[in-house]
Structure 1
Amino acid sequence: MLQTLLEHLDRRHPVLVQTHDFPDHDAIGSGHALHWILTQRGFCTYLCYNGEFQSETLKVTIEELGIPLIPAQSLHLHEKNQIVLVDGFAGNTNVTDLTGELVGIIDHHTPPVPATCPFIDIRTSYGSCSTILYTYVKEHGAPLPRTIATSLLMGIMTDTAFMTRGVSPIDLEAFSALFFQGDWQRASYLLRNCLSLQDLPIIQQAVNHYRIVDDVCFLELDLECTSELLGLVSDFFLGLKEVIIVVSWAFEKDILHVSVRSEDPDRPADLIVRRALAGIGSGGGHIHMGGGAIPRDRFPGAEALRSRFLEAIGKRNIHE
């Protein structure tokens, strides 16, 4: 697939490797690897993003690994730019439309609509986008720098919840190879120590105000919360034996972040969030993990949103 992507790119014009907005470890790891490959292949390449970093851990990772991320607004954007989107899909609310030609999409999420750009590499059976880029690294053939191996490893570990969720055989191969090529000890330390004392009020509110409807747990947080922390809190509640699905949401500025976790393959998280947010926001993900966003002015209220999710899950008229 790498060779096919290269055939769609023109060395006369810059390539923008764009992550989804408010990037996470998987998006940044994927982008880091693709930026390195394209630079080695003779392209003028920039790795760019929009939004803010969702955790201090991510900021430390970027600094320690020397990841050359540039805010998109700092770039000279023009129509000749060639854009390759990693770990995201054009048209989603978490992907800013940049000036230039969208040449390629590399992603592991189920697309909400058919993609129309020249190069499309979407592998929904993979646990992370970083795993897709691992296959590109193999095809590229050059010795892999330890920093890039580490950022890919962190992307895989994050999106598979340390190899416990949505893992495919190629994810295992990538994890095994990168484990020995990267700094797994530092990667593990950074990912495990991702909470701070400032997060405790949010965790306390979740513990004190959860709602259970049959086997579905709702976490409706009043405090502002990043999407990363929302996912971590959801994973904690999913560990309760009575809970099969967790739906959580919280505002961050003017966006309501929504997180869905599911342990029932017949009730996939990505389908649940897509159905529940239809007409008011956007979302997607995988069988076990999904997420979405709703603009503040389209938030229907907690009760109405809860009803939307219950209907999407297939639980109507269930009493708490």
Structure 2
Amino acid sequence: MTKLEELLKVIKKNKVYIQTHNYPDQDAIASAFGLKILLRNKGVDATICYNGQIDKDNTLEMIEQLGIELFMVDEVKMKPDDEIILVDGQKGNSNMEDFAGKEIACIDHHPKQEVDSYLFYDIRSDVGACSSIIAGYFFENNMEMTVDTATALAYGIKMDTAALSRGVSELDIDMFYYVYKRADAEKLRSFEKCSLRKADLEAYKKAISTLKIQGRLGIANIGADCSEAIIGSISDFLLSLAEVDFTLVYSHRVGGLKFSVRSESKSVDAGKVIKEALKGYGDGGGHGAMAAGFIPNVNTEKEVAEMARLVEERVTRLVTAI
């Protein structure tokens, strides 16, 4: 029995919800879209939903050009007995809102957490992109995919593995080759043209001016009210420095302090570092190569400065101790 067949066995209704993590990125959206097509081909109607905001232009461009339909959670009338399939995240994560329905299944590529409540799960933390897992479902079941589905999955794999250079597995490589042959290369190129806005350059300027390098650790405060997308992008940007193997980037936004971390060191796990660094104040997690975290209820300039200093000290200690 294939993984898709196992999933179909636990679905009891003709309609399900596919939930991504909050502020969904290209991989989360592509995975949800691919799963929706798989389920539709098997007679199950699925609605993609999320919480938060989609604030990166190339993600919005992907959604528009590929005709991906997804909804904020308050736009759908979910009931307690509705069935939810989680993709690219797990129940209990700080970035996975608890919706009204029941989570019957989970497909993810982050480190495994509590799974007892799922009727089905396929969690592979050694895979670089959730899109690769979904592409594998098409391959395993010999199911045709549309050009738009292939394009979405190819873009999801490309973005979450930094063009097959970060956290990549054999499955990512095999599935990227599989979907790229079926994708619209011109659309993929057009998404790349929408990766930055002029206003984003201020955040890059701030990152460069505040950058501190301690050993192989790069730390930057990129200012207030930066989007989820730009925080991650700048973290990737700083990791490209020859002197840096690990990055900590943060921005104060309404409600708290947001962190993004990246690691190119095999001995330093980004997800474990940020989770430990925020213990007692907030929560975080992710992969060995990339992760994020959030501390709520940080409002005044004094609170921001004190909390940022505390996290910087903890991360520095954790990274330099290894």
- Please classify the TM superposition score into its range, dividing by the shorter chain length: over 0.9
CA distance in 2, matches of 1:107, 1:265: 21
Q: Which residue of 2 aligns with 1:236?
A: 237
CA distance in 2, matches of 1:257, 1:192: 26
Amino acid at match of 2:318: A
Alpha-carbon distance, 1:73 to partner: 1.0
Q: Which residue of 1 aligns with 2:9?
A: 7
Q: Which residue of 1 aligns with 2:123?
A: 122
- Aligned residue for 1:99, secondary structure, equals coil
Q: Which residue of 2 aligns with 1:79?
A: 80
Q: Which residue of 1 aligns with 2:182?
A: 181
CA distance in 2, matches of 1:46, 1:255: 30
Indicate the larger mover: 298-307 or 41-50: 298-307
TM-score (norm: length of structure 2):
0.93
Gaps of 5+ in 2: none
Q: Which residue of 2 aligns with 1:45?
A: 46
**Residue 303 of structure 1, aligned match among 302, 309, 312:** 309
The reply on whether 1:197 has 2:203 as its aligned counterpart is: no
Relative to 1, partners in 2 of residues 1:264 and 1:237: Cα closer, same or farther, differing over 3 Å?
Answer: same
Retained in 1: the 8 A contact 2:61–2:194? no
Relative to 1, partners in 2 of residues 1:167 and 1:247: Cα closer, same or farther, differing over 3 Å?
Answer: same
Deviations 1:162-194 (A, max 9, x none): 111111111111111111101133213313530
Amino acid at match of 1:231: G
Indicate the larger mover: 199-208 or 283-292: 283-292
Amino acid at match of 2:284: G
CA distance in 2, matches of 1:267, 1:169: 22
Deviations 1:9-52 (A, max 9, x none): 0135x200011111000000000011111122111311111111
CA distance in 2, matches of 1:122, 1:146: 26
Alpha-carbon distance, 1:237 to partner: 1.5
- Aligned residue for 2:223, secondary structure, equals coil
Retained in 2: the 8 A contact 1:24–1:54? no
Q: Which residue of 2 aligns with 1:19?
A: 20
Alpha-carbon distance, 1:115 to partner: 5.0
The reply on whether 1:312 has 2:315 as its aligned counterpart is: no
Relative to 1, partners in 2 of residues 1:247 and 1:192: Cα closer, same or farther, differing over 3 Å?
Answer: farther
Alpha-carbon distance, 1:112 to partner: 4.5
Amino acid at match of 2:313: S
TM-score (norm: length of structure 1):
0.93
Q: Which residue of 1 aligns with 2:111?
A: 110
Alpha-carbon distance, 1:280 to partner: 1.9
Retained in 1: the 8 A contact 2:262–2:270? yes
Count of residues in correspondence between the two structures: 315
Alpha-carbon distance, 1:307 to partner: 1.2
CA distance in 2, matches of 1:113, 1:158: 27
Deviations 1:235-281 (A, max 9, x none): 22112111111111112322422111111111111111111122222
Amino acid at match of 2:212: R
CA distance in 2, matches of 1:111, 1:282: 16
Amino acid at match of 1:310: T
Relative to 1, partners in 2 of residues 1:114 and 1:46: Cα closer, same or farther, differing over 3 Å?
Answer: closer
Alpha-carbon distance, 1:117 to partner: 1.5
CA distance in 1, matches of 2:121, 2:109: 11
CA distance in 1, matches of 2:32, 2:163: 20
Relative to 1, partners in 2 of residues 1:124 and 1:104: Cα closer, same or farther, differing over 3 Å?
Answer: same
Deviations 1:65-108 (A, max 9, x none): 00011222111111221000000111112111111111011100
Relative to 1, partners in 2 of residues 1:140 and 1:256: Cα closer, same or farther, differing over 3 Å?
Answer: farther
Q: Which residue of 1 aligns with 2:153?
A: 152
Relative to 1, partners in 2 of residues 1:112 and 1:256: Cα closer, same or farther, differing over 3 Å?
Answer: farther
CA distance in 1, matches of 2:253, 2:184: 33
Retained in 2: the 8 A contact 1:281–1:292? yes
- Aligned residue for 2:265, secondary structure, equals coil
Relative to 1, partners in 2 of residues 1:61 and 1:147: Cα closer, same or farther, differing over 3 Å?
Answer: same
Cα RMSD, aligned residues only: 1.8
- Aligned residue for 1:222, secondary structure, equals strand
Deviations 1:128-187 (A, max 9, x none): 000010111223433100111111111101100011111111111111111110113321
CA distance in 1, matches of 2:23, 2:193: 20
Retained in 2: the 8 A contact 1:158–1:191? no
- Aligned residue for 2:224, secondary structure, equals coil
